[in-house]
Amino acid sequence: MIAEQVMTTQEVANRMYELFKENKWMEVQQELFADDVVSIEPEHAQGLKTVSGKDGLRQKAEQFNAMVEEVHGGWSSEPLVGGNYISFAMGMDITMKGAGRTKMEEICLYEVKDGKVVKEQFFY
């Protein structure tokens, strides 16, 4: 029996970046995140809270999408890898329901263990 090869942190980062460029956000979570992943929002985040597990992550994504009226564009930097961590600078040009158009920029930090993202944290 051949054991499944675990992706390195660099390989996870490269795959994430590939999917980000294709706007395949849900595929990133489904393919690369651990089942017990933790997603941490800053204390000042409006409406979005820290969650755990893929179901919690999916619900948070649905909540965010429900707050968005229109997406005008977005971007992601190339990944920066250090040890078991991956960081990206990201931005979105969006119109939020009831709040108008805004440009959001953030640093996204991901921790990888055994070839899967076990924690994501956002700084904005």
**What are the residue boundaries of the structural domains of the chain, listed by start?**
9-123
Query: The CATH number of 9-123 is which of 3.30.450.90, 3.20.20.140, 3.40.190.10, 3.10.450.50?
Result: 3.10.450.50
C-alpha separations of 103 from 34, 90, 95, 113 in Å: 30, 11, 9, 32
**What's the whole-model pTM score?**
0.90
Best CA proximity match to 76, nearest among 9, 16, 11: 16
Residues 74-111: pLDDT tens digits? Answer: 999 999 999 999 999 999 999 999 989 999 999 999 99
> Do the bridges between strand 116-123 and strand 33-40 make them parallel or antiparallel, or are there none, so unpaired?
parallel
What dihedral do alpha carbons 19, 21, 22, 24 form, nearest 10°?
50
Residues 35-61: pLDDT tens digits? Answer: 999 999 998 887 789 999 999 999 998
